[in-house]
Amino acid sequence: MNFVIKLSRPGYTQQYIRRLSTTKPTYGAKRRVVVTGIGAISPLGNNLKESWQRLLNCESAISKLSDAYKGLPCQVAAQIKKEELPLEQHLTKSDIKLMSPATQLSILATEEALRGAKLNTKDLSVEELERIGVCVGMGMFDLSEVYGAWQQLQRGYNRVSPFFVPRLLPNMACGHISMKYGLRGPNHSVSTACATGAHAIGDAMRFIRNGDADVMIAGSGESCIDPLSIAGFCRLRALSTSFNETPEKASRPFDKKRDGFVMGEGSAILILEELEYARKRNAPILAEILGYGLSGDAYHITSPSEDGTGATLAMQRAIKDAGVKPEEITYVNAHATSTPTGDRIEARAIQRVFGDHTANVRVSSTKGAHGHLLGSSGNLEAAFLIQGCYENKLPPSINVDELDESVQVRIVSKPEAWNEDGSKLRIALKNSFGFGGTNASLCISSYS
C-alpha cells in the first residue's frame, strides 16, 4: 500500500512530494556500521585532540572544588573549562536560555564530530536528511536547576522560567540536534545512568544495521557537578574522600588505595554511518562497531552482584553479536570507576569471559585522568578507544601505584602500542555499567 504525502518545513525553498511504502526495506547481509567522526568536550580538553593528547601524557584533569562545597566529605571533581567553551560561535543567546548545560555541551561535541566526519548537513537533500537520526542521552539532569527553580517559585509563580521543564528533559539534546541540522531520522534518547553513553552508541548502531537510518549522531552529555549532587553521592559513600589535598591522585581505578569515584562532566559524540554510505561520500573511517551486548544484574540498586554475572553477560553478548571469538579480542576499556567493589568485580568478570586468553587481554580505565562522567562516560571512553584503535595506541590507567591483588588482569598503566608488529586488526570491548544493574558492552574494531 502506498501513500502520497506532501511535506514542508521552514528553510526549504519548495514543497516536495515523496512516495512512502509501508513495506520495510530488506537487506541480504548485515549492514556494517563504521565511525567517521568524533567530538569531545571533556575535563581534559574542549576538543578531542587536546583530550586525547593529555590522556596519552598521563595527565589528570581533577582539581579541588570551590568554597561552595565546603563541609562536604568529597572536595574534588573533574570539571571542564567552561570559560574557554566556544558557545557563542555555535549558539545564540536564545539557544543558551533554552538548553541545559549538558545539551549545550552535546551541541558543541556534535559540531566537532560532523567536521571530523566531513558531513555538512546543509549540502544534503531532504531524502538524505530523513535517513540521518540522533541518539543522544543524558544520565542525570542538573539538580541545581531544580533547586534554583524552587527558590524562584518561593518568590512568585512568574519567577519560574518557562524553559525550566524543557531544560530538564533528558531527550532535549536529541531534539535540539535534530532541529539544528534538520535531521528527520530516528530521534531516540537514552537515560540509563552511567551506561547511557554506551547504550546510545549501541542503539544507534542497531538503527543503522536494521535499515532505519544511514547515519546516526550518537553519544551523551552530562553536566551536574553541584553541591547537592556531590552531597548525594557522598551520602551513598560512592565518592573518593581520601585525596582532597591531592586531587590529581583521587581517581585510581584498580589501585589498592582506591576509595571511590570522582565526578566529571562533558560530552562525546560519534558519527556512525552505514559502511557503503560512508564509502560513497569518501568519509574518513576510524573504526567499526561490530557488536553490542546488554544485560541486567537483577541484584541491587547501586552494587553489582558479587559474581559479576551482569557484566559477564553483557560482554559475552557483545562478542556473540560481533561474530568474533573471545581470543580475537586483545583489549578491554573497562568501566572501572575507582570504587573498591566495582573494579574488583569487573576484573573477575573479564577473567570469566576470556578464561585462558585473559593474559593476552590488556585492560585500562581512563577515568583516572578525567573522572567519572556518569552518563557521558561510556561514550567518551569509547571515543578514546576508537582513537587508540585508529592510531594503534592503548590509552592508560593512571595512578595505579600498587595494583590491587584481587585484580588479576593485565593493566595498561602507561601508553603503549596496541599491536607491536603494527598489524591492522585490533578488536576491543568497551564496558559501561549503571545504577539499577543496567549493563552495556560494545565490541569495536579497526576498519578493514
pLDDT at 223: 96
| CA 391/CA 141 separation, integer angstroms | 34
List pLDDT tens digits, range 345-356. 999 999 999 999
The yes-or-no answer on residue 194 being catalytic is yes
Residue 38: beta bridge partners?
270
List pLDDT tens digits, range 317-346. 999 999 999 999 999 999 999 999 999 999
Mean pLDDT of the chain: 93
Of the pLDDT bands very low, low, confident and very high (cuts 50, 70, 90), residue 20 is very low
Q: Give the number of other Cβ atoms within 10 Å of residue 182's Cβ.
A: 17
pLDDT at 422: 78
| CA 448/CA 384 separation, integer angstroms | 19
Span 115-137, average pLDDT: 97
Q: What are phi and psi of 5, to 5 degrees?
A: -120, 135
User: Of 420, 360, 370, which Cα lies nearest the Cα of 392?
Assistant: 420
Please provide the DSSP assignment of 226-248 as one string: SHHHHHHHHHTT-B--S-TT-GG
- Residue 236, pLDDT above cutoff 80: yes
Percentage of the chain beyond pLDDT 70 is: 94
The shares of helix, strand and coil residues in the chain, as percent rounded to the nearest 5, are 40, 20, 40
Span 402-422, average pLDDT: 94
Active-site pick, 224, 370, 372, 443: 372
The yes-or-no answer on residue 335 being catalytic is yes
CB-CB contact of 173 with 376 (8 Å): no
List pLDDT tens digits, range 136-174. 999 998 899 999 999 999 999 999 999 999 999 999 999
pLDDT at 28: 53
Please provide the DSSP assignment of 382-441 as one string: HHHHHHHHHHTEEPPPP--SSB-TT--SEE--S-EESSTT--S--EEEEEEEETTTEEEE
Active-site pick, 176, 188, 199, 335: 335
CB-CB contact of 203 with 378 (8 Å): no
The yes-or-no answer on residue 176 being catalytic is no
Of the pLDDT bands very low, low, confident and very high (cuts 50, 70, 90), residue 421 is confident
pTM of the model: 0.92
Active-site pick, 74, 174, 194, 389: 194
CB-CB contact of 252 with 396 (8 Å): no
- Residue 3, pLDDT above cutoff 90: no
| Runs of H (alpha helix) within 210-328 | 227-235, 275-280, 309-322
| Residue that is written with C-alpha cell 542538573 in the block | 142
- Residue 25, pLDDT above cutoff 60: no
| CA 279/CA 162 separation, integer angstroms | 45
**Dihedral angle sign, alpha carbons of residues 396, 399, 402, 407:** negative
Span 87-114, average pLDDT: 95
pLDDT at 423: 84
